[in-house]
A = this chain, B = another copy of it.
Amino acid sequence: MFNDRLRDVAMQVESCLAEMLLPLGTAPVAEAMRYATQGGKRIRAFLVMESAALHGVSDAASVWAAAAVEALHAYSLVHDDLPCMDDDDLRRGQPTVHVKWDEATAVLVGDALQAMAFECLTRPELHPDPSIRLALVASLARASGAQGMVMGQALDIAAETSTESLSLDQITRLQALKTGALIGWSAEVGPVLAGDDPEPLRRYAGALGLAFQIADDILDVTGDAAKTGKRVGKDAEAGKATFVSLLGLNGARDRARSLVAEAEAALTPYGGKAEALREAARFVISREM
């Protein structure tokens, strides 16, 4: 059920992204933008479209918010992979944009994808009421900007150059900003589009986002590059504090499992209708645990 829906979401989102990129033709930056938006798990898009479906909002509407968050996520990956940031050569099993093209192209691709994300949210298909679309522009700007994702990335980079290790509280806050803010935004799109209370999905996304990051830290220790599509073992190599270094492998697994239980419990008000979201929560920690 979850896997079918994930595939279906990915197809719909990719068709929107292709439509947005079509007018750009074959300019080098357009090719690199297409490359950067390909692949990935599309978890954020899934959260957008599944939270929307749960609140009676059609896929034809919510897919534009899903395309927005996937474009925004793609921009953040292209910039995070730059040599001056995390310096990654491999992403989703393919060379990163600055490796395949060059650093200037990677900077510009990220910049253009961010603009495209906000443009997706202006599409009239998303909601008949422009004030709702505008609210999503404002909340995506906050979730991705200097009070959200960018601050998380800045804290992460500062931690790498610092001699003091982060505490569990500090890492939890860092991750809530770096990955949690966008995951939270995604899960709240449904209630926002429907004018309903976002609280249950906000709690779900808070627990899910943290579980997702703990699973990533575990994968960095137990995974291999062939399966994860990116370089592994680099946290330990960099002497970086992670959930695994702070909690141990078993402690991290236990914490991830209890967060997934917490995420599932937050969905109680939705009853059986939220089964795909429950499966999603179990999925994020199932990879290689």
Q: Which residues does A use to contact B, with CB under 8 Å?
A: 23-24, 27-30, 33, 75-76, 79, 82, 84-85, 102-105, 107-108, 110-112, 114-116, 118-119, 121-122, 129-131, 133-135, 137-138, 140-142, 144-147, 150-151, 153-154, 157-158
Contacts and interface: CB of A to CB of B under 8 A. Distances in A.
Given A111-B79, A153-B108, A141 B119 contact: yes
A272 to B, nearest CB: 36
Nearest to A79: B107
Contacts of A75: 111
Contacts of A130: 129-131, 133-134
A146 B84 contact: no
Stoichiometry (number of copies): 2
Contacts of A110: 111
Contacts of A29: 146, 150-151, 154
A70 to B, nearest CB: 16
Given A28-B158, A107-B107, 7 more contacts: A30-B146, A76-B111, A79-B108, A108-B154, A115-B141, A115-B146, A129-B130
A129 B158 CA distance: 42
A110 to B, nearest CB: 7
A153 B33 CA distance: 15
Nearest to A72: B115
Contacts of A151: 24, 27, 29
6 contacts: A27-B146, A29-B150, A112-B150, A118-B118, A119-B137, A122-B134
Contact of A111 (B102, B114, B158): B114
A154 B119 contact: no
Nearest to A103: B84
A107 B119 contact: no
A116 B134 contact: no
Contacts of A28: 154, 158
A108 B150 contact: yes
A146 B107 contact: no
